Amino acid sequence: MQIERAPASAAAKARPRVGFVSLGCPKNLVDSEVMMGLLDRAGAEITPNAESADILVVNTCSFIDKAKQESVDAILEMARLKTAGSARKLIVAGCLVERYRDEIQKNIPEVDAVVGTGELESILAAAGLETQPTAQSASPFNILGSSAAAHVPAEVRPGVESRSGTHNASSRPEGDRRATQGRFSRSEWDGATAQMPQYLYDHTTPRLRTTRSASAYIKIAEGCDHPCTFCVIPNLRGQFRSRRFESVIAEAEMLVAEGVREITLIGQDTTCYGEDLGLKDGLAQLLDRLARIEGLTWLRFLYAYPNRITGKLLETIAKHDNICKYLDVPLQHASAPVLKTMKRGGGADIFLKTIEKVRAAVPNIALRTSFIVGFPGETDADFEALCDFVADAKFDWLGVFSYSDEEGSRAYDLEKKVPKRVIEQRRRALMKLQKGLSRQSKRELVGRTYDVLVEGESAETPLLWEGRTQFHAPEIDGTVYLNDFGPFESLTPGRFYRCEVTEAHDYDLVARVLHEVPTGAAPEPEPAGVLL
Ligand code: SF4
């Protein structure tokens, strides 16, 4: 990606260098990319070198204890660099700010400013850069030139849509009801502002993509209205809100024109997409429209809420070759009493029926889920029910989280806490069970051929390259290692190759390249953003 800039001037030479650490999930990564875009447009230079940065930013995660600790460690490391190096400012952004706004600055005096998840635009003031009015002429998408701009439908050009980065004030009745029930209240959190985040970027917001090869995320919704008792994400991210349909299409068209070939739609719950905009089956409609974008090779979404997987959604996934046959549906547990206390509902029998429906509608679909073990009150029998369900359901990918007791969640006040030692034993036992199931299912893939998106040389050894099939979401699932390039001297990251699986390990595959899969004359997509 070539960024055209004004001729060098004294002001340009004085551009502050900003180093960015981004922690947590892809949703947080998109926030980092938006903040980098805003800083870049305001004249800052984004640097991968912390030692030479004038400003250091840590975009934090605060989902569970482990994530909070990782965030604090990263802040302390940057604080040390600031003291020892050339940085004159340290800014902390993200979920940790929503949770501990005052305490961060009180306890870590090196921190100069904080930026919550609902105030991404204030990164400019925090960095000492002036806020610039949003205009298409200033968007990094403009670097695509007139052909990409031509993809933007007239009805979503700036001036027609609501102010960039500000969400239209619509909501879901479920969310409004939960709000009156106190679901989003932060009154018990010291230092948190009462005002819930409302921000949501749009296609006119500058954004510097950091993801490797031909892959990009698009955040289609923010916040969550569900009542899960273990989860503080709604308190951190606010009520559910969707981006406008046309804005998502416009962003996807611009990314594809830039060379992106795989788009992953993200949100806490993408299956609620559009309900606040009055759309029925909004995600299915959105996928159906996006799948028609010429040049888009793979389209996927994360995450599905189990009771919102409609027939229409499955029909849409099955209908389009370029919609990945992949579904990530976090089920959290399979024992009905535990799910009831989690305020999620469902149980093993209902979930098995859902899985059957999904597999019947979309044959060979890859299913991913995640579970929490050690939720308050979880008995040995509940855990056994979960293991039996996992053995029956045979997921392609599975993640297991140890329950984390989060102050401010409803589960925090529950009795019958499970000892940490038992939680750890259960986590390990469930992972061991899944490892055996995964090994068995991966072995069945030997000899089959798949399209593989090549991502580049393996971090482990230059003798191997890495890639993914449509059944592997970026940065989440196993890896396809390529040890035989077939007719090629070398491979090109960001391109697709037909490959034959030659070996299977517990989670990863080894494959040999057969031939390249043409996906149109894509320019080499270079990420414009960089992280520390
Ligand atoms: S659906 Fe996910 S993000 Fe929303 S409250 Fe439940 S666990 Fe949290």
Q: Which of 150, 143, 137, 139 is nearest to 1 (CA)?
A: 143
Helix (H, G, I), strand (E, B), or coil: what is residue 69?
Answer: helix
Ligand 1 centroid from CA 335, angstroms:
18
pLDDT of residue 190: 67
Tell me the two tokens of residue 374: 């050690």
pLDDT band at 74 (very low <50, low <70, confident <90, very high): very high
Cis peptide bond N-terminal to 412, omega within 30:
no
Tell me the two tokens of residue 197: 């985040």
For residue 325, the cross-strand partners are none
306 lines ligand 1 (CB under 6 A): no
pLDDT of residue 191: 65
pLDDT of residue 174: 86
Residue whose entry in the numeric block shows the structure tokens 């105030």: 119
Tell whether the torsion through CA atoms of 456, 459, 461 and 467 is positive or negative. Answer: negative
Ligand 1 centroid from CA 63, angstroms:
11
In the chain, the percentage of residues whose pLDDT exceeds 90 is 72
pLDDT of residue 525: 59
Q: Which amino acid is at 204?
A: T
CA distance 171 to 319: 30
pLDDT of residue 187: 75
Ligand 1 centroid from CA 403, angstroms:
14
* Local structure of residue 323 (DSSP, 8 states): B
Write out pLDDT tens, residues 197-210: 888 999 999 999 99
- Angle value at C-alpha 358, between 356 and 362, nearest 5 degrees: 120
Ligand 1 centroid from CA 78, angstroms:
31
Ligand 1 centroid from CA 227, angstroms:
7
Please give the number of the atom of ligand 1 that sits closest to the Cα of 332. 7
267 lines ligand 1 (CB under 6 A): no
Tell me the two tokens of residue 88: 């004159």
Range from 157-166, 177-186, 491-500 that averages highest in pLDDT? 491-500
Q: Give the C-alpha distances (Å, rounded to integers) separating 282 from 30, 274, 317, 348.
A: 22, 5, 13, 28
CA distance 309 to 272: 10
pLDDT of residue 325: 98
68 lines ligand 1 (CB under 6 A): no
pLDDT of residue 519: 83
239 lines ligand 1 (CB under 6 A): no
CA distance 349 to 346: 8
pTM of the full predicted structure?
Answer: 0.90
Tell whether the torsion through CA atoms of 1, 459, 81 and 33 is positive or negative. Answer: positive
SS3 content of the chain, % helix, strand, coil (to 5): 35, 20, 45
Tell me the two tokens of residue 242: 């969707």
Compute the half-sphere exposure of residue 142: CA atoms within 13 Å on the CB side of its CA.
16
**Alpha carbon nearest to ligand 1 atom 1, residue:** 226
226 lines ligand 1 (CB under 6 A): yes
Write out pLDDT tens, residues 120-148: 999 999 999 875 444 333 332 222 223 33
pLDDT band at 62 (very low <50, low <70, confident <90, very high): confident
The answer to which of 80-94, 139-153, 208-222 has the lowest mean pLDDT is 139-153
Mean pLDDT within 390-404 = 97
pLDDT of residue 136: 36
pLDDT band at 531 (very low <50, low <70, confident <90, very high): confident
**Dihedral pair phi/psi, residue 179, rounded to 5°:** -65, -45
409 lines ligand 1 (CB under 6 A): no
Please give the number of the atom of ligand 1 that sits closest to the Cα of 232. 8
Contacts (Cβ under 8 Å, ≥6 apart) of 469: 450, 451, 452, 453, 480
CA distance 491 to 455: 9
Ligand 1 centroid from CA 232, angstroms:
8
Q: Determine how β-strand 509-517 pairs with β-strand 298-302.
A: unpaired
Write out pLDDT tens, residues 440-461: 999 999 999 999 999 999 988 8
CA distance 401 to 230: 12
- The rounded Cα 303 to chain-centroid distance in angstroms is 9
Please give the number of the atom of ligand 1 that sits closest to the Cα of 344. 6
Contact status, residue 29 vs residue 217, Cβ threshold 8 Å: yes
For residue 104, the cross-strand partners are none
CA distance 435 to 462: 27
- The rounded Cα 277 to chain-centroid distance in angstroms is 22
Ligand 1 centroid from CA 394, angstroms:
23
**Alpha carbon nearest to ligand 1 atom 6, residue:** 228
Residue whose entry in the numeric block shows the structure tokens 């698009």: 218
pLDDT band at 160 (very low <50, low <70, confident <90, very high): very low
Q: Which of 31, 38, 28, 78 is nearest to 55 (CA)?
A: 78
224 lines ligand 1 (CB under 6 A): yes
Write out pLDDT tens, residues 226-284: 999 999 999 889 999 999 999 999 999 999 998 899 999 999 999 999 999 999 999 99
Residue whose entry in the numeric block shows the structure tokens 């305490």: 103
CA distance 487 to 513: 8
Helix (H, G, I), strand (E, B), or coil: what is residue 358?
Answer: helix
Q: Which of 75, 84, 101, 99 is nearest to 21 (CA)?
A: 75
**Alpha carbon nearest to ligand 1 atom 3, residue:** 268
pLDDT of residue 344: 96
Contact status, residue 161 vs residue 204, Cβ threshold 8 Å: yes
Ligand 1 pocket test: pick from 222, 226, 275, 372 the residue with the most ligand atoms within 8 Å of its Cβ.
Answer: 226
304 lines ligand 1 (CB under 6 A): no
231 lines ligand 1 (CB under 6 A): yes
Please give the number of the atom of ligand 1 that sits closest to the Cα of 237. 3
pLDDT of residue 10: 46
Tell me the two tokens of residue 9: 């001037």
Ligand 1 centroid from CA 224, angstroms:
6
* Local structure of residue 129 (DSSP, 8 states): -
Ligand 1 centroid from CA 428, angstroms:
24
Instruction: Look over the chain and give the mean of its residue pLDDT values, rounded to a whole number.
Output: 88
Ligand 1 pocket test: pick from 224, 375, 401 the residue with the most ligand atoms within 8 Å of its Cβ.
Answer: 224
Give the residue with greater pLDDT, 287 vs 139.
287
pLDDT band at 171 (very low <50, low <70, confident <90, very high): confident
**Beta-carbon neighbour count of residue 182 at 10 Å?**
8
Ligand 1 centroid from CA 409, angstroms:
11
Mean pLDDT within 77-100 = 91
Give the residue with greater pLDDT, 190 vs 508.
508
pLDDT exceeds 90 at position 404: yes
Tell whether the torsion through CA atoms of 41, 47, 51 and 56 is positive or negative. Answer: positive
Ligand 1 pocket test: pick from 178, 228, 237, 370 the residue with the most ligand atoms within 8 Å of its Cβ.
Answer: 228
pLDDT exceeds 50 at position 439: yes
228 lines ligand 1 (CB under 6 A): yes
CA distance 166 to 159: 13
Mean pLDDT within 499-523 = 90
Mean pLDDT within 160-175 = 57
Q: How many residues does the chain have?
A: 532
Please give the number of the atom of ligand 1 that sits closest to the Cα of 268. 3
pLDDT band at 14 (very low <50, low <70, confident <90, very high): confident
